[in-house]
Amino acid sequence: EFGKEVANLVDGVSVIGRIQTKARLNFAGSENERKNILRLQKLILSSIKDIRVIFIRLLDRKDNLKTLDVFPAKKQKRKAQETLLIYAPLAKKIEMGKLGGELEDMAFKYLYPETYKQVKKVRDKNLPIAHSAIQLLEKTIMRKLKKAQIKVLKSDYRVKHLYSLYQKLKRHNMD
């Protein structure tokens, strides 16, 4: 009814689902499991004929995470683990880092709810100070670039995603 192109996209999304189901990952965190996850990501990428299939799957996962509260805790954790270990890294591999960060944050909230709240509280508390410092730094840099007659096309910065911030704090043994 919607045509061959839409049918191919739907079929591609279904193929990814079947691949994931057959993989039967248990997310134990072992080295073998990590290798299986990487193989699964490669298999997903190599099996699709149209990159839009990955976009649809990633955005579908994001949409599913928005309504995860209605499911039992066990399913929430499984979906969050799949997201954190398969889909967020996959998004980053295809240069969709912002979406990957959003997926990580959404999964983080379900996997480690208390830690999520703590990291969010710390980030939110420090955000206004960081914004002020960044704006001052940007003005200083722009002034110096203008003085040196260097034309700036664009200046940008971003706020670190919560899961990424958590990983960094953990890496540096910070509370």
Q: In the chain, which residues have pLDDT < 70?
A: 20-33, 175
User: Average pLDDT, whole number, for the chain?
Assistant: 86
The predicted pLDDT at position 37 comes to 72
Burial class (CB within 10 angstroms; exposed 0-12, middle 13-18, buried 19+) of 119: buried
**CA angle at 58 for the pair 81 and 86, rounded to the nearest 5°:** 35
φ, ψ at 144 (rounded to 5°): -70, -35
The predicted pLDDT at position 5 comes to 83
pTM above 0.75, yes or no: yes
- Tell me how crowded residue 46 is: count the other CB atoms within 10 A of its CB: 7
- pLDDT digit string, tens, across residues 70-93: 999 999 998 999 899 889 999 998
Burial class (CB within 10 angstroms; exposed 0-12, middle 13-18, buried 19+) of 53: buried
Both tokens assigned to 129? 């100070």
The predicted pLDDT at position 32 comes to 66
